[in-house]
Amino acid sequence: MLVSGRYQRPTMNIMDTYLIVGLGNPGKSYAKHRHNIGFQIVDLLARRHGLSFDRKQQQAEIASGMIGPHKVLLAKPQTFMNKSGVSVRGLVNFYKIPLSNLLVVADHLDLEFAKLRFRPNGSSGGQNGIKSIIAELGTQEFPRLMVGIGRPPGRMDPAAYVLQDYSAEQEVEMAIVRQEAVDGVELWMKEGMLGAMNNVNGKGERGKEKGETPRGGQKAESGKQDTESKKRDTESIS
């Protein structure tokens, strides 16, 4: 039976199970694409906590274990982006996950490059994976973490843009963003949506802070040294 879609702050019972879903497309050819930032972030979260995607269930690759005191399921739907909701609905129903304990991680074209935004609910904003989840769950009332990839340059087709790798320069920035996103997911489990929103939203506006262009993530000299110093402490996707 589908659990209620009404948003509530996640409870802090240490035996609650959290379902963290990264969105993307399956297969090596898609692995480094902008559209696969959700997969990339849950992969990094799994590595940080020694978890492995060692089984498949409800058309998703699954890693399970503990993050701090919390039981977690990490999921990467293998349905392709536009049908992600089929997998998410199956997992929510099978494990009886309250929607307040579901977090979906996905890319967003209309969010500035490298900016992170937690949202407790809302429309898909044109993101087809989120749109599918809303349709399958029958509600917009579930938490999500959106990662800004910016708009494509010129008249480039957005569908083609999201299915490209980051430029080498953008990848330097996104390696940092992935770490910050994982930090944010951990904070969400610890302090709930309000704590995550207060501490994470807006922190990715590096373009305004360092003179960088927001759509391409290209660094001005004033921000280059700081970004390079952070790079040593980050992990790029393999």
Task: Name beta bridge partners: 72.
Answer: 18, 65
DSSP code at position 16: -
8 A C-beta contact, residue 38 and residue 105: yes
Main-chain phi, psi angles of 213, to 5 degrees: -75, 125
Place of tokens 């890693």: 63
Q: Which of 33, 35, 70, 108 is catalytic?
A: 35
106 Rama class: left (phi>0) / alpha (psi -120 to 50) / beta: beta
Q: ∠194-139-24 over CA atoms, to 5°?
A: 80
Q: Reply yes or no on whether 35 is catalytic.
A: yes
Is residue 148 within 8 A of residue 34, CB to CB? The reply is: no
Q: Active-site residues: which are they? A: 35
